Structure formats: C-alpha cells, structure tokens
C-alpha cells in the first residue's frame, strides 16, 4: 500500500480556489489525469490534471513552469499527450511528479503566475480515452453481484465452487471501450427464449448497466514473468469508473461454453479521469471476509494486501430518462454501493492475471466486475434490481423500468471520504442508449 505523505494533508489548499470548495471532486489532494482538448476543436489531445473546475494542461505547464530536470523528463511524454509512456514509469517517478504538481498548485506556490495560463476550464473541454488500452479484462470480484445473479440461475447453489479461490475474469473487447459521454446504439443479437423453437436476431430488449471500477495498469511485466503479490500495488496506476453495458437476452444464448461475447462488446464506458493509487492512499481498507472464507492461496496472499488492499470508495448509479429530461428533473439514483464489497483486491486481480506469465502492459484496463453491496438497494445492475427482469422498479414521477429504454442516460458516480482526509471524487461516467439501427 502507499504511505500517506504531505499530499494527503487535508488542510492543504490550492491557489486554484475552486479546488478548495467543499464537495469539489478535484481538490489539491486528488490530481487525477485525463486526456482532453477544447470541445469541438481538432487540436491535439493534451494530458491534463484536474484541479477544482480547471484542467492543468501539461504541455503548457511543461513549457511555462519551472521544474527540476528530473520532472521535466517525466513531463515530456505527458506534454506529447502520451499517458501510456508515463504509466510505464516506476512508482517512485510517478510519485515524484505528484509531489511536484502538488507543490506547484499549492496556495502560495511561486509557480502560480506562470501556471495560471496553463489552466483551462473543464466546461470548455472534451475528453478522449485517457490512455491507449492494449487489452481490457473484466473480472467478477463483486461477490454480492455473483451471489444475486447466481441465485437467479441456481437458487440452491448460487456461488460456484471456484469463486472464493480463483479471481474469475475473462477478456473483454478493447476497441469498444469508449469514454464517458459517447452514446451507444442498442445492439442487435441472437436470443432464444426457453419456449422458442429457434433463435431470432433482433434488437436486444434487455440492455443493462454494470457498476464497476476500471483499474489501470502502470508498469507491465514481460511475457512469462509473473508479478509477485508483494509488488502488485506498484503496477497499478489508478482507478476510473467503468460501466460494462450488458445485453441480458443475448448473453444466455451465446455464452456456453466460452463465456460472454456479443452481449458485452457493443460498448463499455469508462470515465475520463484516472484517480491515481497515490490519491487513494487514505481510503484503503481491509476487504470484508467472513471467518469461513478460505485463505487465499500463497501466490495471492500478503499481509499488507489483507489489511489494506481494499478501496473504500462510494459508488452510485443514476438514471436520467427522456421524460425526466423533458420535465427538467434531475437524474434519479438507482443504487449506491461501495468498492469495499469486492471479494478480491486490485492487487490480487493483477497478480492472478499475470500468474501464468500473461504480459500486462501500461494502459491495460481491468474491470472489477459489478460491485453490488449486500442490500437490495446496493445492486449494481438492473438484472439484480429487477430480479432478472421479473419485477419492474418504480421511478419517481410514475415511470418504471425493467431494463434500459432508448434515450435513457446512465451515470455512475464515485467518491472517497473519511475523517481526517480530504474528500476526492472521480468525475462522471455517463452514457446514453440510442435506438437500435434499422435493418432490412
């Protein structure tokens, strides 16, 4: 885990005054990375750091700021718009840049005058994916999700025997991971009900969301070389919100024997901001385990991981329907959860992934799987909230939903807060479902 240092001082303030406001997602203690440019422009993408309601453009900051030569070297790939190259740096280097940015943006910094011109208001920016995603893997670490979904199919045996031994995961589609705000078309697909004579190919009627975190890989490993659990945290760059949209009617017909495919790969939405592991240091926690859970096998065990491998991050799902937007009503909260409900830590997911020698690369994205809590209102998908689509949920104002309708916009939110630490937020992760394409 990361030790706390001066960048976690809750009293520290920024000369970017909006960062000091209560409830700001991006106080001085956060300093998340994104890739942005002026909205609607064709400018080059810039790596930016979020601070209050502003983004520090690292290309401009590298030019205008006064930095040590070591920091100038670290800024160089970032000034080119290449976050992956920075992700590949050792943890000490990443920490050094955090320290330098914190000092530069801190109230009273002599850099204020030179860096003010490197700030750009967030509201004027558009975002791309923050990094090139070489491979995207989705895990299944939300045990309450696994149990609830398992109950729908196997009431007497909801959790498969491997669940508490193997961090279950599968490869997803990297090309269709999109940044927050990118609308997605309702997918077509094959489905077959139990009483249908043969399958039909039609637009999915059961489009759902999945509330996840996305873990970004920092330094990778060479093919054939595993990552020891004691070093795993050093290979984690940071965390985003992640919505693994799912077509629940395509999945049951296609997924045997090789797992989900077209039910998932029509699109997955990631938030533009990466909250670094360093920013999350004050919000680490033990995982919730019960006394009868097996000890992890030695390759997945470390004392530090067991004590502080978890993430105490609040999670929420909000739905905005077309009718609510027309009536100028805010989105309605569908569920709230917390990342501490994961059965496996981020370090365990990463170590397991590389345990057979599979090579991870900077910018790879690991989805946690749907992070539901133990209570019904903590369910991270409509599949769970509606008991497999059998019971519609009532929305304020008379609408109801089993699955998502055309025009529905889903927004995930996350933040971390704790006594003695400055609250940090993740920024939004939003996506809208467009009508299916018309086909002959």
Burial of 197 (0-12, 13-18, 19+ CB in 10 A): exposed
- Examine residue 151 and tell whether it contacts its own copies (CB under 8 A): no
CA dist 367 and 40 (Å) reads: 30
Flag whether 91 is marked binding. no
Contacts to its own copies from residues 64-123, by CB under 8 A: none
State which of residues 64, 99, 151, 173 lies at the interface with its own copies (CB under 8 A).
173
Q: Is the peptide bond before 257 cis (omega within 30 degrees of 0)?
A: yes
CA dist 103 and 15 (Å) reads: 11
426: enclosing H helix or E strand = none
* The pair of three-digit structure tokens given for residue 341, joined into one six-digit string: 């409900």
Give the nearest distance from C-beta 132 to its own copies in angstroms. 10
User: Could you give the residue numbers annotated as active site?
Assistant: 145
Please identify which residue in the block is written with the tokens 């203690």: 29
CA dist 161 and 175 (Å) reads: 33
Sign of the CA dihedral running 179, 185, 188, 191: positive
Closest CA to 273 of 320, 329, 214: 214
- Examine residue 172 and tell whether it contacts its own copies (CB under 8 A): yes
Map residues 350-369 to x or -, x wherever contact with its own copies holds by CB under 8 A: --xx-xxxxxxx--x-----
14 or 432: CB nearest its own copies? 432
- Examine residue 165 and tell whether it contacts its own copies (CB under 8 A): yes
Helix residue spans in 118-254 (DSSP H): 143-153, 251-254
* The pair of three-digit structure tokens given for residue 426, joined into one six-digit string: 């993740």
Flag whether 255 is marked binding. yes
- Examine residue 155 and tell whether it contacts its own copies (CB under 8 A): no
State which of residues 299, 374, 375, 377 lies at the interface with its own copies (CB under 8 A).
299
Flag whether 244 is marked binding. yes
* The pair of three-digit structure tokens given for residue 2, joined into one six-digit string: 């990361």
Map residues 401-440 to x or -, x wherever contact with its own copies holds by CB under 8 A: ---------------------------------x--x-x-
- Examine residue 176 and tell whether it contacts its own copies (CB under 8 A): yes
Flag whether 140 is marked binding. yes
DSSP for residue 111: T
State which of residues 157, 171, 193, 307 lies at the interface with its own copies (CB under 8 A).
171
Interface contacts to its own copies, rule CB under 8 A: 134-135, 137-138, 140, 160, 162, 165-166, 168-176, 178, 184-185, 187-190, 192, 198-201, 223-226, 247, 250, 253-262, 265-267, 294, 297-299, 352-353, 355-361, 364, 434, 437, 439
Q: Which residues are annotated as a binding site?
A: 138, 140, 154, 210, 212, 244, 251, 255, 264, 268, 370
């Amino acid at each position: 885990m990361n030790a706390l240092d001066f960048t976690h001082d809750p009293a520290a303030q920024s000369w970017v005054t909006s960062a000091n406001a209560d409830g700001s997602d991006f106080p001085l203690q956060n300093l998340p990375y994104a890739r942005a440019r002026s909205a609607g422009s064709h400018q080059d993408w810039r790596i930016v750091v979020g601070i209050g309601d502003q983004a520090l453009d690292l290309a401009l900051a590298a030019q205008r700021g006064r930095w040590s030569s070591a920091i100038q070297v670290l800024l160089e790939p970032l000034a080119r718009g290449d976050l992956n190259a920075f992700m590949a740096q050792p943890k000490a280097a990443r920490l050094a840049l955090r320290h330098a940015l914190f000092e530069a943006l801190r109230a009273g910094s002599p850099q204020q005058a030179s860096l003010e011109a490197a700030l750009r208001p967030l509201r004027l920016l558009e975002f791309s994916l923050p990094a090139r995603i070489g491979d995207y893997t989705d895990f299944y670490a939300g045990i309450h999700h696994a149990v609830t979904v398992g109950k729908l199919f196997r009431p007497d045996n909801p959790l498969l025997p491997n669940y508490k031994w193997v961090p279950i995961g599968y490869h997803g589609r990297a090309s269709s991971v999109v940044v927050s705000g990118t609308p997605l078309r309702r997918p077509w697909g094959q489905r077959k009900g139990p009483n249908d004579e043969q399958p039909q190919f039609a637009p999915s009627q059961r489009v759902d969301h999945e509330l996840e975190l996305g873990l970004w890989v920092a330094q990778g490993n060479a093919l054939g070389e595993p990552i020891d659990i004691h070093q795993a945290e050093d290979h984690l760059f940071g965390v985003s919100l992640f919505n693994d949209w799912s077509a629940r009617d395509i999945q049951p017909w296609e997924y045997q024997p090789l797992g989900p495919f077209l039910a998932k790969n029509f699109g997955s939405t990631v938030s533009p901001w990466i909250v670094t592991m360093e920013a999350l240091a004050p919000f680490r926690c033990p995982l919730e385990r019960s006394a009868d859970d097996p000890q992890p096998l030695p390759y997945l065990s470390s004392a530090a991981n067991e004590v502080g491998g978890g993430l105490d991050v609040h999670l929420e799902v909000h739905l905005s329907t077309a009718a609510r937007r027309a009536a100028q009503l805010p989105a309605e909260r569908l569920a709230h959860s917390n990342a501490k409900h994961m059965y496996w830590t981020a370090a365990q997911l990463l170590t397991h992934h590389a345990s057979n020698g599979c090579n991870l690369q900077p910018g790879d994205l690991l989805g946690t799987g749907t992070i539901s809590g133990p209570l019904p209102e903590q369910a991270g998908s409509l599949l769970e909230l509606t008991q497999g689509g059998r019971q519609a949920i009532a929305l304020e104002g008379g609408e109801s939903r089993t699955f998502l309708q055309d025009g529905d916009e889903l927004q995930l939110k996350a933040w971390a807060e704790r006594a003695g630490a400055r609250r940090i937020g993740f920024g939004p992760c939003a996506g809208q479902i467009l009508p299916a394409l018309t086909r002959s």
